[in-house]
Every structure is written in structure tokens, then in C-alpha cells.
């Protein structure tokens, strides 16, 4: 902490020194002396291109070639400036001039080199760079990108503020010290730019490896240029200055190339950026970096290397280079670049608000003063009272208006987030169950924040069991043991739990246990709470895929989503409870109804065969003994009725098992044909008794099915006994086996009363008996077909029915064939 504070103090101290040197540079610019004429250079010949307007007298004429100053030869503009820089405005120098082939020496009084406009622009732009650099550093202490940006910005500030001028200003050596500093800034800028492009918007470790080497090269250039420059100064020597220029021109290549590399690297970050937000931020930075330094290189540095002069005036180039900090400032304000939430926060809103209200106050009081002519104590009291009331009334609407304008203009992001927030809230309201809610929140949150992983846990009420309902890339969360770890997270009901360094400074959160978070791959955990502040679930988030931190807006949004989700879970649980209660009541009612129906119908069904058994048994025992043939007939009736009775009881018992879910089937490989024959054998007596003609159409192929023989026999018996029960005059039953679409089929067809289309869909329901067609006349409990369907379901088969009222019905059982 102490070392961090010291580091900050040292950096700010250096900044202060550099600002002083910058001011000194500006002073040098202000007092720089020059020949009062526009000069140009053409293949080593320095000549007068134009004469400055407003200068009362100068012996120079347009077209004059300047050969030497005070005896020192000149062959470049910079060389000539180097010599005049040792004089002050108002000094007189001797110029060796060639005019129309004639050599002459003219005595010329030096004038002001730079105009006031340049001085102003230079101070403004330079100051802007200084300000931005210091701001980035102060707002983001400890952030590498911010630190590099700081030095880059300050170095550009120094470069803009100082100039190659007035080396000889007093006290002695100050001019040259300022110039050496300028060289240092020049040497550092290109490397700082490359460095910056390697750490912003995210670190690029591969590129960073080359940075120390680049700094070394820049250091070498700096030393070379400084030595050459100091040599040229003492004593001032044009020849030595030419040597310095050579060094500087070589350095210019390095400068241009590095800037190019930096810009290309930033472009690379832009094109490989996965996050829309990051791209938006970078667009501005790249515009700044592209237009600013690239223009400087193309319009100034390279022309100097090639043509020994620039393509544009210095004030234009300084203005162009102001684009970089300007675009940077825009990025900072609009997109919180480097997470610097500049002045345009609440503070801005209230400052603007205060301004507006004060103006209103002043207007009211001022108008009162004008109206009253002169303000007496009483009048002024009344006026200020009225004004204060007006201001108080206008406070809230004005605040809202200003907040809106600031949001719309500068916080596009936050504004969009509000829309997003509203949409999510709407969607959450539509959720009918917790699963749907979990899916929605996971999907939408991931869409907006682009996370490495996200999970939605529900905490079950009594035991506090925690269940992962939905996730994206959160396979880890489902791993055994993880839910216990997750249970250990206890985010506050209001504050999210977050990894400290993954959240923008200024956001409100509770610091998480970094060990546990790293282990689970988490960055942020939010509690989903009920209205009574009971934790119903957890929303757990991994890092953002872009590697950027969670911004204050992100947290605002997440907090709102978590609150909404908690309330929605509350509501859904309540609704579910109500629905369940209602369903339970309905189930109980239905059960009661069925029970009484069942008791009445089954007891009736049991009674009918019992009555006939009893009756025929009594007849057999009666005094009037029947004959042998008749006895046989009575016994057969008793036998048949007993069979009916046992089938009914079997159906009831089976159905009870099905209902309780304990009905078991023992599957073996059996021949369908054999089963059919067995059933027909056992029912032969009944068919004969009731006068039925039975037609059999057994396929020659024997179909092997995997089935429970007893269950299949029961199903077939039910179908055949229905065929008998629901036939009237035409007593014919046909039974056929065949194969169809890989199924072994057995069909039971009768020419009975048939079933209407409307009732077909219900006959397989338990206790259902058709109302039409006179089926009620026949005995039955409505369980036979329900059992048939259950048997077929259990065998992976199906049952089909075709029927026409009055013409008969065909029931077909389809069993999946072995190996079919």
C-alpha cells in the first residue's frame, strides 16, 4: 500500500516536472526568433519563397538564395533554424545572399518565428494530452494499460509543448535540457504506443515479449541523438548539426515503423475482439491512433526524411494530433474505457442541474428586480422566496430531464441496458415455471454479458438441497461435490459476491473467497431471494469471455435480474402450490366417484353369475331331479358362469395391480399361434353354448413374440368375450393371425353392435362403457379394454380398433416381432 502510494507520488512528481518543462517549452516557442520571410528549400538551396506581410522593412526579396548566416553555411531549413535559434527576437544577423547571380551580404533583424495562434493551439493540445495521461493514471492506479497510456500521453504532451528552438535561453543549459527532454519524449513515444497496443484492451503476452528490446533500441537512439545534439551546440556548428540531423532522420524511420506496428496491433485487437462492447470502445481508440499518429508520420515525419520539410504547417499537424486525445476522451466518456468513469457521472447531472436551477433563480429574482425598479428589503425577500419555491418545484422534473439527456448522450451503454432490463423483466413475468425462468435467465444473461459459464441453481425449501436447473458451459457445476461447495457460498441478499479484481472500481459488492471462486471457475454470485429475504436460488457467473471486468452497469443489470428472478420464483412456487392443491382435491373427488361406481358395478357383475350358479345348483339338488342330459347342461352352465366370474375377478385384481403400479409381466419367447389356440380351446364351450360360429384364419408362419403368456391370454380372452357380449343376431367371430410392418398381429372380428366414432377414443379408459348401441344391456365393469391396452403397452405393442355401429368391430393386437 505504502509502496503504491509512493509510486503514485513519484509518477505525479515527474508529471509535475514535465508540465513545468512543457511550460518552458512553450516559452521557448514564444521567444523563438527567425528570419522574417517564408523560406523553402530545393536541393540544398535555401531561398525566400514569400515575404511576411506586416513586417515594415526587410532587405530580403522574393527569390533570394541564403548561403550563410554570420559566416556559417546553410543548406537546410533546420540547419538555418539551428543558427538563428541562438539569437533573440530583435537581434541582427548578417546573411550571405545570392540575388540574380550576384552575391551580397545583408544585415537582417530577426522577428518572431511562431505566431500567437500556434502558441495557443500548442498549449491547448499539449495540455489536453497531459490532462488525459494524468487522469488515466489517477483513476486507474495499478492498471498496466492505464500506466502505459499515461506515459504515452505525457510524452506526446512534452513533444507538442517543446520545440527545437531557443537553445540558448537563460539560465544556461535550460534550453538544451528542454531539448534533450524533447528527444527523450520522441524516442519513447513510438515504443510506448507499441507497448500500449500490447496491453490494451487486453494483454497480448506474445507481443509484450519484444517490448524490452524495443525500449533498448529507443534508448540507443536517444543516446545517439543526444550526444550528437550536445556536440552541435558547443560551440554551435552547422556541420555537427548536420550529423545530428542524420541521427534524427535515421530515428524517424524507427519512429514511423513503430507507430505502424502499434496501429496494426490495435487493428488486430479490434478484428479479433469477440465482444461488441469492446469493439465499440476500440473503434474510437483506433480512429484516434490512426488519424493522430499516422497523420503525423505521413504528413510530417516521412516528408522530413524524404524532402527535408513537412507537407503541412506545424499548427495543422498539432491540431491533427489532437484527434487522438479527443477520440480517447470520447471513448472514456462513452464507453468507460479503461473503466474510467469520467466526470459525466452523477456529479455531472447535479452540476448541470445546479446551473440550471441557479439560472432559474437568478431569472426570477432578476425579473422581480426589473419589475420593482429598485429592490427594497421586503421586495427582495418576496422575490427570493418566490424564486426558491419555483426552484424547489422544478427540482425533480429538471433532474429527471438532465439525467435523461446525460444518459442518452454520454451513457448510450447504460441507456441500452435499461431497455434490456425492461425486456428481461417483461419476459420474467411471462414465466410459468421455475425451469422456464432458469432457462430464460441463463440464456439472456449470457447473450448480454458473453460469459465463460453461467448457472442457475434452485435451493429446495426444507433440506436446502441445491439443484442446477440450467447452465451454459457449466458442466463443472453439475460435478459431484460442487453443489456442496456452491452451498457454501452465501451471497448477501442485496450484495453480490464477486472476485474483487474482476469488477470495476466503484461497484458495490462483497469480496468473495478467491480460492473457492477459482476452483469453481466463478467471478460473481448473486442470491435470488423471496420477498421475505429467503434465498430461493443462486445465479452463478464465470468470467466474461472477453476478459474484461464487470462494469457498474453490468452489476446494476444483474442485481435487477436477480431481484426479479427471486420474486418470480416466489410467485411461481405459490402458484404451483395452489395448482397442486387444486389437482389433489380433484383427484380425490374423482377417486371417490370411481370407488362408488366400481363398487356398485362390480358387485352387480359379481351378483349375476352367482345368481345363476346358485339357481342351477339348487335345481340340481331339488327333489325333482333332472335327467342326466339336463344335469350335464346345468353343470356346464355353472362351469361357464364360474369362469365368467373368475375372469371378472381376475380383471379386477389385475386392474388393482396396474393402478398401484405393481403389475409385473414375465416375458418369454412364445408362439402367438399357440396362445391363440389355447384361448380358443378354453372358450370353445362358451362359443358353443351361445351358438357362435368361430372362424379361424391362422397364418402358416409361426410368429415368435417376446411376451407374458398369461397376460396375452387374458387380453385375448377379454376381446373374445367382448365379441360375444356385444353381438346380437349375427353370432360370428373371426380370429386371424398375420404379420404387418414388422409386427405379429392377431385380430378379433365380430358382426355385433359396433362402436360409434365418438366413443372409440374412450373405450380403453377404465370403467368406460359405451352409452349408445345397447352395450349397457350386457354385463361388464369397463375394465377389460383398459387391461388390454396396459398389456399391449407393457409389451411395446399396440392395440387398434376398427368399428362401425350395427355392423361389427375388429380389435387387432400388434406385438413387435422377435428380431423384427
Nearer to ligand ADP, 292 or 784 (CB): 784
CA dihedral 288, 290, 292, 296 (to 10 degrees): 170
Q: How far is the CB of 593 from ligand ADP (least distance, A)?
A: 17
Closest approach of ligand ADP to the CB of residue 754, in Å:
6
Q: Which of 786, 792, 799, 813 binds ligand ADP (CB under 6 A)?
A: 786
| Binds ligand ADP (CB under 6 A): choice among 325, 474, 784, 797 | 784
CB of 446 to ligand ADP, least distance (A): 52
The size of the interface with ligand ADP (CB under 6 A), counted in residues, is 22
Query: Distance between CA 798 and CA 820 in Å, rounded?
Result: 15
Among 96, 809, 812, 814, binds ligand ADP (CB under 6 A): 809
**Nearer Cβ to ligand ADP (155/788):** 788
CA separation for the pair 631, 196 (Å, rounded): 114
**DSSP symbol at 235:** T
Point out which span in 38-46, 131-139, 164-172, 765-773 binds ligand ADP (CB under 6 A).
765-773
DSSP label at 460?
-
SS3 466: strand
Q: What are the phi and psi torsion angles at 188 (to 5°)?
A: -80, -35
Q: Cell numbers 420477498 correspond to what residue? A: 531
Tell me the three cell numbers of residue 425.
423483466
Stretch binding ligand ADP (CB under 6 A), from 260-268, 321-329, 655-663, 779-787: 779-787
Nearest-angstrom CA–CA distance, 716 and 476: 53
The number of beta carbons lying within 10 Å of the beta carbon of residue 571 is: 16
Smallest distance, Å, CB 788 to ligand ADP?
7
Binding status of residue 705 toward ligand ADP by CB under 6 A: no
Residue 695 CB, shortest distance to ligand ADP, in Å, is 15
Q: Which of 159, 337, 763, 799 binds ligand ADP (CB under 6 A)?
A: 763
For residue 270 the three cell numbers come to 479490434
Burial of 674 (0-12, 13-18, 19+ CB in 10 A): exposed
Q: Is residue 812 a contact residue for ligand ADP (CB under 6 A)?
A: no
Q: Is 258 in the site for ligand ADP (CB under 6 A)?
A: no
Q: Compare residues 254 and 764 and give the one whose CB is closer to ligand ADP.
A: 764
Cell digits of residue 218: 529507443
In order, the DSSP letters of 62-129 are TTPEEEEETTEE--SHHHHHHHHTTS-TT-EEEEEEEETTEEEEEEEE-EESS-HHHHHHHHHHHHHH
**Does position 782 bind ligand ADP by CB under 6 A?**
yes
The residues, any chain, with a CB within 8 Å of residue 577's CB and separated by 6 or more, are: none
Nearer to ligand ADP, 173 or 806 (CB): 806
Choices 243-251, 383-391, 446-454, 778-786 (CB under 6 A): range interacting with ligand ADP? 778-786
| Longest CA–CA separation in the chain, Å | 173
If one asks whether residue 466 binds ligand ADP (CB under 6 A), the answer comes out as no
Q: Which is nearer to ligand ADP, 396 or 757 (CB)?
A: 757
CB of 781 to ligand ADP, least distance (A): 5
496 counts as binding ligand ADP under rule CB under 6 A: no
DSSP class of residue 501? G
8 A C-beta contact, residue 445 and residue 470: no
**634 in Cβ contact with 624 (< 8 Å):** no
Note whether 805 and 755 are within 8 A (CB): yes
The cell for 638 is: 355353472
Q: Is 609 in the site for ligand ADP (CB under 6 A)?
A: no
Nearer to ligand ADP, 216 or 599 (CB): 599
CA distance 476 to 453: 9
CB of 611 to ligand ADP, least distance (A): 18
450: cell is 458473453
Backbone φ, ψ for residue 457 (5° rounding): -105, 145
Decide: is 197 part of the binding site for ligand ADP (CB under 6 A): no
Site string for ligand ADP, 721-760 (x = CB under 6 A): -xx--x-----------------------x-xxxx-----
Considering the rule CB under 6 A, would residue 717 count as an interface residue with ligand ADP? no
**Least distance from ligand ADP to the Cβ atom of residue 815, Å:** 20
Contact pick of 523, 785, 791, 813 for ligand ADP (by CB under 6 A): 785
**566 or 780, CB closer to ligand ADP?**
780
Give me the count of residues in the chain: 820
CB neighbour class for 589 (10 Å; exposed up to 12, middle 13-18, buried from 19): exposed
Least separation, in Å, of the C-beta of 728 and ligand ADP? Answer: 10
CA-to-CA distance for 450 and 469, rounded, in angstroms?
19
The gap from C-alpha 313 to its chain's centroid, in whole angstroms, comes to: 47
CB neighbours of residue 118 within 10 Å: 19
Establish if 718 lies at the interface with ligand ADP (CB under 6 A). Answer: yes
Would you count residue 775 as binding ligand ADP (CB under 6 A)?
yes
Q: By C-beta, is 453 or 644 nearer to ligand ADP?
A: 644
Q: Is 202 in the site for ligand ADP (CB under 6 A)?
A: no
Distance CA 212, CA 200 (A): 17
Take residue 219 and report the three cell numbers written for it: 534508448
Could you say whether residue 658 binds ligand ADP (CB under 6 A)? Answer: no
Closer to ligand ADP at the Cβ: 240 or 750? 750
From 204-212, 286-294, 671-679, 773-781, span contacting ligand ADP (CB under 6 A): 773-781
Contact 59/51 with Cβ under 8 angstroms? no
Q: Which stretch binds ligand ADP (CB under 6 A): 252-260, 282-290, 442-450, 763-771?
A: 763-771
CB atoms within 10 A of CB 122: 24
Point out which residues bind ligand ADP (CB under 6 A).
Answer: 718, 722-723, 726, 750, 752-755, 763, 768-770, 775, 780-786, 809
Amino acid at each position: 500500500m505504502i509502496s503504491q502510494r509512493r509510486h503514485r507520488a513519484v509518477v505525479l512528481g515527474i508529471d509535475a516536472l514535465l508540465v513545468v518543462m512543457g511550460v518552458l517549452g512553450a516559452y521557448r516557442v514564444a521567444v523563438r526568433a527567425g528570419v522574417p520571410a517564408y523560406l523553402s528549400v530545393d536541393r540544398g538551396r535555401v531561398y525566400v519563397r514569400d515575404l511576411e506581410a506586416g513586417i515594415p522593412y526587410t532587405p530580403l526579396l522574393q527569390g533570394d538564395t541564403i548561403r550563410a548566416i554570420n559566416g556559417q553555411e546553410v543548406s537546410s531549413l533546420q540547419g538555418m533554424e539551428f543558427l538563428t535559434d541562438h539569437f533573440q527576437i530583435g537581434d541582427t544577423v548578417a546573411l550571405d545572399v545570392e540575388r540574380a547571380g550576384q552575391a551580397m551580404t545583408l544585415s537582417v533583424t530577426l522577428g518572431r518565428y511562431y505566431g500567437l495562434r500556434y502558441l495557443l493551439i500548442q498549449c491547448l493540445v499539449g495540455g489536453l494530452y497531459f490532462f488525459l495521461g494524468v487522469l488515466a493514471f489517477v483513476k486507474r492506479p495499478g492498471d498496466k494499460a492505464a500506466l502505459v497510456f499515461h506515459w504515452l500521453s505525457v510524452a506526446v504532451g512534452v513533444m507538442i509543448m517543446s520545440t527545437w528552438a531557443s537553445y540558448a535561453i537563460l539560465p544556461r543549459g535550460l534550453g538544451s535540457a528542454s531539448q534533450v527532454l524533447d528527444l527523450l519524449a520522441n524516442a519513447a513515444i513510438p515504443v510506448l504506443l507499441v507497448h500500449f497496443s500490447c496491453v490494451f484492451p487486453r494483454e497480448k503476452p506474445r507481443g509484450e515479449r519484444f517490448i524490452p528490446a524495443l525500449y533498448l533500441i529507443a534508448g540507443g537512439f536517444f543516446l545517439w541523438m543526444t550526444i550528437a545534439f550536445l556536440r552541435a551546440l558547443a560551440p554551435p556548428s552547422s556541420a555537427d548539426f548536420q550529423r545530428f540531423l542524420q541521427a534524427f532522420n535515421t530515428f524517424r524511420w524507427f519512429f514511423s515503423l513503430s507507430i505502424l506496428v502499434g496501429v496494426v496491433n490495435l487493428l488486430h485487437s479490434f478484428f479479433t475482439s469477440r465482444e461488441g462492447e469492446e469493439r465499440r470502445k476500440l473503434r474510437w481508440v483506433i480512429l484516434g491512433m490512426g488519424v493522430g499518429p499516422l497523420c503525423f508520420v505521413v504528413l510530417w515525419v516521412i516528408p522530413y526524411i524524404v524532402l527535408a520539410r513537412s507537407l503541412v504547417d506545424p499548427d495543422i499537424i498539432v491540431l491533427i494530433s489532437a484527434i487522438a486525445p479527443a477520440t480517447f476522451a470520447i471513448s472514456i466518456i462513452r464507453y468507460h474505457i479503461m473503466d474510467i468513469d469520467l466526470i459525466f457521472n452523477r456529479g455531472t447531472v447535479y452540476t448541470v442541474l445546479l446551473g440550471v436551477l441557479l439560472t432559474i433563480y437568478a431569472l426570477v429574482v432578476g425579473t422581480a428586480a426589473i419589475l420593482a425598479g429598485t429592490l427594497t428589503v421586503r421586495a427582495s425577500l418576496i422575490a427570493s422566496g418566490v424564486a426558491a419555491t419555483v426552484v424547489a418545484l422544478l427540482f425533480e422534473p429538471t433532474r429527471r430531464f438532465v439525467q435523461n439527456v446525460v444518459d442518452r448522450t454520454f451513457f448510450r451503454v447504460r441507456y441500452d441496458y435499461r431497455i434490456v432490463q425492461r425486456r428481461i423483466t417483461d419476459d420474467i413475468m411471462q414465466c410459468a415455471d421455475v425451469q422456464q425462468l432458469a432457462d430464460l435467465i441463463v440464456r439472456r444473461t449470457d447473450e448480454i454479458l458473453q460469459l465463460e459459464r453461467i448457472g442457475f441453481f434452485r435451493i429446495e425449501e426444507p433440506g436446502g438441497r441445491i439443484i442446477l436447473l440450467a447452465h451454459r458451459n457449466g458442466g463443472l457445476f453439475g460435478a459431484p461435490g460442487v453443489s456442496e461447495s456452491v452451498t457454501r457460498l452465501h451471497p448477501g441478499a442485496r450484495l453480490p459476491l464477486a472476485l474483487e479484481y474482476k469488477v470495476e472500481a466503484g461497484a458495490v459488492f462483497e469480496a468473495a473467497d478467491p480460492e473457492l471462486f477459482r476452483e469453481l471457475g466463478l467471478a460473481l454470485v448473486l442470491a435470488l431471494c423471496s420477498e421475505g429475504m429467503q434465498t430461493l436460488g443462486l445465479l452463478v457467473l464465470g468470467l466474461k469471455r472477453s476478459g474484461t471486468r464487470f462494469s457498474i452497469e453490468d452489476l446494476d443489470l444483474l442485481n435487477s435480474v436477480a431481484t426479479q428472478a427471486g420474486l418470480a420464483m416466489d410467485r411461481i412456487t405459490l402458484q404451483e402450490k395452489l395448482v397442486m392443491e387444486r389437482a389433489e382435491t380433484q383427484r380425490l373427488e374423482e377417486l371417490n366417484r370411481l370407488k362408488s361406481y366400481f363398487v356398485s358395478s362390480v358387485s352387480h357383475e359379481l351378483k349375476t353369475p352367482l345368481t345363476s350358479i346358485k339357481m342351477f345348483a339348487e335345481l340340481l339338488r331339488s327333489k325333482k331331479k333332472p335327467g342326466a342330459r339336463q344335469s350335464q347342461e346345468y353343470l356346464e352352465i355353472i362351469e361357464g358362469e364360474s369362469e365368467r366370474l373368475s375372469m371378472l375377478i381376475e380383471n379386477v385384481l389385475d386392474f388393482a395391480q396396474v393402478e398401484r403400479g405393481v403389475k409385473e409381466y414375465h416375458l418369454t419367447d412364445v408362439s402367438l399361434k399357440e396362445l391363440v389356440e389355447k384361448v380358443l380351446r378354453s372358450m370353445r364351450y362358451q362359443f358353443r353354448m351361445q351358438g357362435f360360429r368361430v372362424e379361424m384364419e391362422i397364418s402358416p408362419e409361426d410368429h415368435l413374440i417376446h411376451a407374458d403368456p398369461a397376460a396375452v391370454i387374458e387380453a385375448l380372452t377379454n376381446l373374445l368375450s367382448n365379441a360375444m357380449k356385444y353381438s346380437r343376431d349375427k353370432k360370428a367371430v373371426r380370429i386371424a393371425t398375420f404379420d404387418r410392418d414388422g409386427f405379429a398381429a392377431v385380430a378379433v372380428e365380430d358382426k355385433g353392435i359396433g362402436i360409434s366414432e365418438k366413443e372409440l377414443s374412450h373405450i380403453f379408459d377404465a370403467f368406460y362403457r359405451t352409452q349408445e348401441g345397447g352395450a349397457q344391456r350386457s354385463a361388464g365393469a369397463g375394465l377389460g379394454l383398459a387391461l388390454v391396452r396396459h398389456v399391449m403397452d407393457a409389451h411395446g405393442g399396440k392395440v387398434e380398433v376398427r368399428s362401425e355401429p350395427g355392423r361389427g368391430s375388429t380389435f387387432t393386437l400388434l406385438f413387435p416381432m422377435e428380431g423384427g
